[in-house]
A and B are shown apart, each in its own frame.
Chain A
Amino acid sequence: MSHHKLEAKDLHYSYPDDHEAVNGMSFCIYHGESVGIIGANGAGKSTLLMLLMGVLFPSQGEVCVGDVHVTKKTLSMIRQRLGMVFQDPDDQLFMSTVYDDVAFGPRNYKLDEKEVEKRVLHALELVGILHLKDRAPFKLSGGEKRAAAIASVLSMQPDILLMDEPTAALDPKSRRRVMELLTSFKHTKIITSHDLDMIFEICDRTIVIKNGEIAADGTTSEILVNAELMDKCGLEVPLALQNCPVCGIKKG
């Protein structure tokens, strides 16, 4: 299914203060892939997501979703197919109830109210928070907020899910729940994170970013165990693959 393909061709982007955040990135992500994008702080991960979503436009190069270029004219169509979950769910939940928040996207696409209801309930059920639908978002716990934010994107039935740090600031159980949820999705997934153990479990492919450039792109099982590469890019091998802190025996 080529129309689910997401392609970045020689992307460049500089912020107004001339800081070059993305400097010639190219990659292609195919249908059903789950790709982890990792890199040190300030490596350009968030900027890259913004470029993919068309919040920012590259100063050079282009982004294609399927065969459509991301431009101002195609934004509406593109955004229906790409769903982005923000790092801070509070940025994403601004309506007075969870239901209205999840319905925000579908209503903007002028769907019939019955269809909106169907989608909202389905999305809430998928992430397991149907019982919270009438609650105010600000009263939810961190894990519940994250689930609501994911539901608010799922209700738009995107083909590709982009997530910025989906497990940040979650307790271990909530983190596990979000990970199970992500694994259960059949969507194409692009996940940026510093939670390398999560990337190791969920993503088949990993792109490592360093100073706005792609330092490595390949299968997760090869990249994340490459201690030298990880170290060079300001990262480290996932905890699960490091020596056992108690007996010192090397794992994996």
Chain B
Amino acid sequence: MSNIMNSLYNMRILDDLARKETAIHKIHPLVKLLTTVSYLTVVVSFGKYDIGGLLPLLIYPSMVFALAELPVKPIFMRILLVSPFMIGIGILNPFFDHQIYLLGGKEISRGWITFLSILIKSGLTVTAALLLIATTGMDRLAGALRMLKIPRVFVLQLLLTYRYISVLMEEVARTLRAYSLRAPEQKGVHRSAWGSLAGQLILRTFDRAQRIYEAMCLRGFTGEYHTGGFKEIRVWELAYLAGWVLFFAAARIYNIPMVIGSLITGVIR
């Protein structure tokens, strides 16, 4: 029970973090969105055996973490939340892909390489997405999506889902609290109550959602979600975008660890 309340508060940490005022937070949301999208594109474009090439891309999340003064732990915990999916997708690779791959003189199955590459890629993409939310906030992000002319139905859906998750979880927490107080001997919810509990919950959530929607309509909501005006994109923000895009492109075209390695070995020779 307390877990649900905790995760509710934890969930809102991203909103709290987004309210900081560091240099990264002040960057125009559209610029951050485009940077993230180009980062994601580059990360997923790497081949499935190409782990070395992915490594330089670690620089981007590390820089954002540092510059935006974000705590690593809560964001890392969220990445762990999706880790079962990542493992689920990749775990069978070592069994199916038996070809031998030589790594530093040792033979390993190529399946392990692809598994590792899936883990790294999903880790990097999820981190980048979380960093975007933690430095921008959902409302401003939605504003940026609207600037890109994403249809308002989709943007609204995204925003309201994000908002209603907490509404639903509050209802869950309240219902479970009431249940557990009258069923002190039980661990969790007995299966005989699952149906009615879930049913109650969905009805209550409908009611709640209806009231929130009415409150929105009463204040002039007509389907467009206004998040306030944005400032013009400044030159240094464009430079931020251009800088990262160039770096991502370079990391995609050249195998940077290999280049550095051969430079160093060249110097030594």
Contact = CB atoms under 8 A, between A and B. Distances in A.
A80 B228 contact: no
Contact of B220 (A76, A84, A94): A76
B137 A86 contact: no
Nearest to A80: B220
Interface stretch (B12-20, B41-49, B110-118, B254-262): B12-20
A84 B211 CA distance: 12
Interface in B132-146: 137-139
B228 A100 contact: yes
A91 B215 contact: yes
A153 B138 CA distance: 23
B16 A136 contact: yes
Interface string A91-122: 11011110010011101111001001000000
Contacts of A108: 219-222, 224, 226
A53 B219 CA distance: 11
A53 B212 contact: no
A96 B229 contact: no
Interface string B8-36: 00001001101100000000000000000
A86 B228 CA distance: 24
B166 A55 contact: no
Contacts of A53: 218
A245 to B, nearest CB: 33
A84 B215 CA distance: 8
A236 interface: no
A79 B219 CA distance: 7
B50 interface: no
B229 A105 contact: no
Given A88-B211, A108-B226, A156 B16 contact: no
B228 A156 contact: no
A150 to B, nearest CB: 13
Contacts of B214: 50, 55, 91
A17 B163 CA distance: 31
Contacts of B219: 79, 104-105, 108, 152-153, 156
B216 interface: yes
A141 B206 CA distance: 25
B208 interface: yes
A103 B224 CA distance: 14
Contact of B19 (A50, A76, A91, A134): A134
Given A94-B163, A136-B12, A156 B220 contact: yes
Nearest to B211: A91
A124 to B, nearest CB: 15
Given A80-B220, A96-B139, A104-B226, 16 more contacts: A50-B214, A55-B217, A88-B211, A91-B208, A91-B212, A91-B215, A92-B215, A94-B163, A94-B215, A95-B139, A100-B228, A104-B219, A107-B227, A136-B12, A136-B16, A156-B220
Interface of B: 12, 15-16, 18-19, 137-139, 163, 166, 208, 211-212, 214-222, 224, 226-229
